[in-house]
């Protein structure tokens, strides 16, 4: 699977696909074009890094329909809508639904390129965050039920003696569990542990 960050351009107008695709490639961006939202959904592009440059009005599944479908699929790829003047109210609704931006035809080439670079950077940041979240979640799954209980109390700021009394175990046992929690999560400090739990909890 191609992992290069790519601009996925979806527009039913072949002239737009050709012209915009040429502009983006000439400026060093990887581009793949699609004539319809359905063509995009049937490809592997949904799972790949990048951003969407999406026409609002298209026959069949519109750009807004595709946005909604991607949200249902939990696809968080940034979307920049291409709009005509009469489509601005639709684009504003798309922004409220989470679109990254919209550009109005005719658009300025550099302004479009700048926004695309920002969208690609946002996607890369979110993918790194998601990879980190998945890694932490996998490490949390390694904890025993007792270790999870100790971890929750440690993260809440409880002292070892309080945890011991709360769970009915010795302080030394709490210390052993606490050490194992830190090792399994590869946490270097209490602050590190709290940040990990916040990352997973914020999903």
Model pTM score: 0.78
pLDDT-derived band at 105 (thresholds 50, 70, 90) equals: confident
Residue 54: exposed, middle, or buried by beta-carbon count in 10 A (0-12, 13-18, 19+)?
buried
- How many angstroms separate the first and last alpha carbons of the chain? 26
The CATH class, in words, for 6-128 is alpha beta
What mean pLDDT do residues 81-110 have?
Answer: 83
pLDDT at residue 103 in the model: 87
Q: Which regions of the chain carry the CATH code 3.40.50.2300?
A: 6-128
Q: Are the beta carbons of 193 and 151 closer than 8 angstroms?
A: yes
What mean pLDDT do residues 84-101 have?
Answer: 81
Q: How far apart are CA 147 and CA 32, in angstroms?
A: 48
When the candidates are 3.50.50.60, 1.10.3300.10, 1.10.10.10, 1.20.1050.10, the CATH number that belongs to 142-201 is: 1.10.10.10
Q: Which regions of the chain carry the CATH code 1.10.10.10?
A: 142-201
Question: Could you tell me the two tokens for 149?
Answer: 């209980």
Q: In 3D, which of 54, 48, 61, 111 has the Cα closest to residue 83?
A: 54
């Amino acid at each position: 699977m191609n992992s290069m960050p790519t601009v996925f351009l979806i527009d039913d107008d072949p002239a737009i696909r050709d012209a915009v695709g040429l502009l983006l490639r000439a400026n060093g961006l990887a581009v793949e074009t699609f004539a319809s939202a359905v063509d995009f959904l049937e490809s592997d592009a949904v799972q790949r890094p990048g951003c969407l440059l999406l026409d609002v009005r298209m026959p069949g599944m519109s750009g807004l329909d595709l946005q909604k479908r991607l949200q249902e699929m939990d696809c968080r790829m940034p979307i920049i809508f291409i709009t005509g003047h009469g489509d601005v109210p639709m684009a504003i609704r798309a922004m409220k639904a989470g679109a990254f931006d919209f550009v109005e035809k005719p658009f300025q080439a550099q302004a479009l390129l700048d926004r695309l670079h920002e969208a690609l950077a946002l996607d890369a940041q979110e993918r790194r965050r998601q990879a980190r979240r998945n890694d932490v979640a996998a490490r949390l799954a390694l904890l025993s039920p007792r270790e999870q209980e100790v971890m929750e109390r440690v993260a809440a700021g409880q002292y070892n003696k309080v945890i011991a009394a709360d769970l009915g175990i010795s302080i030394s046992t709490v210390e052993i569990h606490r050490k194992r929690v830190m090792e399994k999560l590869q946490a270097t400090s209490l602050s590190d542990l709290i940040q990990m739990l916040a990352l997973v909890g914020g999903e």
